[in-house]
Copies of this chain bind each other. A is one copy, B any other.
């Protein structure tokens, strides 16, 4: 079966767009999608960035929000800008690593919706607990697990893996033969590539 890795950061607006459609598209195309949360912050830091490029470069940032508004409107997705932007995505990412594999997509979607559809804060453990509870997961247990050394190490390793792969932004789609497709607008290409690679 064709395989594709979906690398995302909860602070990333275009990851919200991709998360909202990649599961269905991958199913339709018969591609097995692996959801891989990571942190862009440490990768940005290596090039001297201490915040999102959308804050560092204001004209680019204004255009990104307008682009998001237009795309969300066209797709019927709600959009609210969280304050501050970017949100601190560390605990959300650790939780996404901590939850069972089969619940990772649903948990991640719940987080993205709270953040970008409702404009809620990811620094608020209550918000993340609601996301866990909506899946029937015991919240205190998973918040504790998310803060444990093994989960912290796992997320750190995933972020290092992302950097070694050459990822520099999110979302990124990576095929088993090493092709990197950056951005929600490359999702269709990535799925096609994954299918082509699997049929060879």
Contacts and interface: CB of A to CB of B under 8 A. Distances in A.
Interface string A155-183: 00000000000111100000000011110
Contact of A166 (B59, B67, B180): B59
A147 interface: no
A59 B60 CA distance: 19
A95 to B, nearest CB: 27
Interface string A138-158: 000000000000000000000
Contacts of A166: 59, 62-63
Given A67-B186, A186-B67, A189-B70, A60 B179 contact: no
A182 B67 contact: yes
Contacts of A70: 179, 189, 193
Interface in A55-103: 56-57, 59-60, 62-63, 66-67, 70
A52 B193 CA distance: 28
Main secondary structure of the interface of A (DSSP, over half): helix
A70 B59 CA distance: 28
A185 interface: yes
Interface of A: 47, 56-57, 59-60, 62-63, 66-67, 70, 166-169, 179-182, 185-186, 189, 193
22 contacts: A47-B56, A47-B57, A57-B168, A59-B166, A59-B167, A59-B168, A60-B168, A60-B169, A62-B166, A63-B166, A63-B168, A63-B180, A63-B182, A66-B179, A66-B180, A67-B181, A67-B182, A67-B186, A70-B179, A70-B189, A70-B193, A185-B185
